[in-house]
Amino acid sequence: MPVPDPASAPAAETAAPKTRRRGGRTLPLLAVAAVLGIVGGTAVGYGIQADREPTPLPALNQTGLAYPAKPAPKGQEPAALSAAEDRGLKTDGDLRKLLLPKPAGAKDADFVPEDHWMSVASYAGEYEHPAGAFEELIGDGVRRVATTGWQTGRYKSVQINLVQFRPEYGAHAAETASEQRQFLADDAGYGTPIKGSGEGRTYLLPVEREEGYLDLYVARAIFHRGDVMVEIFVSDTKKISQKEISSLAERQLGRL
């Protein structure tokens, strides 16, 4: 996600000096009356408060707040959540196992580390402004990044990143995904919803053309599940179909 440069603030316009309103003797008289009123009211208030009996404070400890009151009888304990119900059972383990496997016939992409872990510094290096991105990612609580990718044919490549945030920053997965979708919307419009993902979207970006180079087509998918944000990139010198990027996104979502 490109990190936008702060917009330069416009120079503040010099405000025209305002003419001060003359108050005559009315303002000094009102000021004296106000001061006398405050002093008199404060003295009366202190007098009333001093004559009152002190109000007892409520007890610091209260009974009946513990839950449950007593442990459930043996054999009647609630069943543990299944893996389908408790996403943490998956994402707290080896995050790399949740990445889509490389399809048959594809070869490993050169840009993917052998162990499929990407450091936060390396991940920030993919941003337009790496230094600022690194500082922002650390501040947002990025915990780790699992990545995979492959190449098919001569030019087509796929990359998938699972960006996991620390438990106390779990909400940042949704926020960061939302920010990325806003950036993509500037170039590719609203995008196409990913089934079952909530706010997830896929995007077919406008073709990039430069004299002396083959056309470059890029498709992207952005969504999150719990504390994990998912990014999918597909690039090729030929048009990428909506079906292809949607299928990748839906299959990766299913593994989470």
Question: What CATH number did the domain enclosing 171 receive?
Answer: 3.40.1000
Is residue 69 domain-resident? no
- In this prediction, residue 125 has a pLDDT band, given cuts at 50, 70 and 90, of very high
d(CA 122, CA 234): 20
Is residue 46 domain-resident? no
Enclosing domain of residue 99: 95-255
Is residue 183 domain-resident? yes
d(CA 144, CA 1): 17
Q: If DSSP codes are grouped into helix, strand and coil, which group holds residue 202?
A: strand
End-to-end Cα distance, the chain = 22
For 227-241, write each residue's pLDDT tens digit.
999 999 999 999 999
Any idea which of 5-9, 68-72, 99-103, 156-160 has the lowest mean pLDDT? Answer: 5-9
pLDDT of res. 186? 87
d(CA 180, CA 178): 5
For 24-79, write each residue's pLDDT tens digit.
333 333 343 444 454 455 555 556 566 666 767 666 555 555 556 667 777 666 66
Q: If DSSP codes are grouped into helix, strand and coil, which group holds residue 216?
A: strand
Is residue 122 domain-resident? yes
For 72-124, write each residue's pLDDT tens digit.
777 666 665 555 554 554 556 789 999 999 999 999 999 999 999 999 999 99
Is residue 41 domain-resident? no
Please state the separation of Cα 145 from the chain's center in Å. Answer: 15
User: What length does the chain have?
Assistant: 256
Q: Does residue 74 or residue 250 have the better pLDDT?
A: 250
pLDDT of res. 31? 40
Give the number of other Cβ atoms within 10 Å of residue 74's Cβ: 6
DSSP category for residue 221: E
Is residue 49 domain-resident? no
Give the number of other Cβ atoms within 10 Å of residue 144's Cβ: 17
pLDDT of res. 25? 34
pLDDT of res. 188? 87
DSSP string, 111-152: TS-TTSEE-HHHHHTTSSSHHHHHHHHHHTTEEEEEEEEEEE
Is residue 50 domain-resident? no
- In this prediction, residue 217 has a pLDDT band, given cuts at 50, 70 and 90, of very high
Please answer whether residues 208 and 188 qualify as being in contact, where contact means their C-beta atoms are separated by less than 8 angstroms: no
Q: Is the pLDDT of residue 207 over 50?
A: yes
Question: What are the C-alpha distances in Å from 28 to residues 18, 46, 141, 171?
Answer: 21, 27, 57, 56
Q: Can you tell me the mean pLDDT for 143-152?
A: 96
Q: What does the mean pLDDT of the chain come to?
A: 78
Q: Can you tell me the mean pLDDT for 161-170?
A: 92
The total domain count for the chain is: 1
d(CA 241, CA 159): 16
Is residue 61 domain-resident? no
